[in-house]
């Protein structure tokens, strides 16, 4: 079980901190949320020496825009987070087809293992890119 202490990571913006001149960091819930988004947007085989890392969502996004694909996205998110993010326990995953914007709205709710914090909700939009 992971240490329920504080979590810290570099910000994906890699901006310089105005006071310390060091790279900006993100902490706790923001660090975990950043990690989740990074995992879900990573294609399998994209990271060297870790061919299984990733969610495989990119393959599903080029399938027909329907409820079956929405269920596949939900399963892909669940499997990826279960395998690669041991700090959290997923509470809910909801996916909604957005026909107007040609993609899927995703709502994810999770709690941090070993903490009594309230659940964290993350929302994002998945669409095809060329």
User: CA angle, 76 as apex, 9 and 5 as ends, to 5°?
Assistant: 30
69 sits in the region (left: phi over 0; alpha: psi -120 to 50; else beta) called alpha
Distance CA 85, CA 88 (A): 6
Determine contact, residues 83/101, Cβ cutoff 8 Å.
Answer: no
- Residues 15-45 have pLDDT tens digits of 777 788 777 787 888 888 989 999 998 998 8
pLDDT of 88: 93
CA distances (Å), origin 49, targets 44, 45, 52: 11, 8, 9
Helix count and strand count (H, E) for the chain: 3, 5
56 sits in the region (left: phi over 0; alpha: psi -120 to 50; else beta) called left
Query: What domains are there in the chain, each with its CATH number?
Result: 8-127 (3.10.450.40)
Distance CA 81, CA 87 (A): 9
Distance CA 95, CA 124 (A): 10
Parts of the chain with a pLDDT under 70 = 1-5, 14, 130
């Amino acid at each position: 079980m992971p240490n329920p202490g504080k979590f810290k990571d570099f910000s994906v913006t890699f901006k310089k901190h105005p006071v310390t001149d060091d790279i900006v960091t993100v902490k706790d819930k923001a660090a975990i949320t950043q990690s989740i988004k990074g995992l879900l947007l990573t294609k399998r085989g994209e990271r060297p020496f870790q061919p299984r890392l990733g969610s495989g969502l990119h393959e599903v996004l080029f399938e027909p825009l329907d409820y079956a694909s929405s269920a596949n996205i939900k399963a892909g998110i669940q499997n990826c987070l279960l395998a690669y993010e041991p700090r959290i326990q997923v509470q809910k995953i909801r996916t909604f087809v957005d026909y107007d914007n040609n993609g899927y709205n995703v709502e994810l709710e999770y709690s941090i293992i070993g903490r009594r914090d309230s659940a964290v909700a993350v929302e994002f939009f998945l669409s095809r890119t060329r």
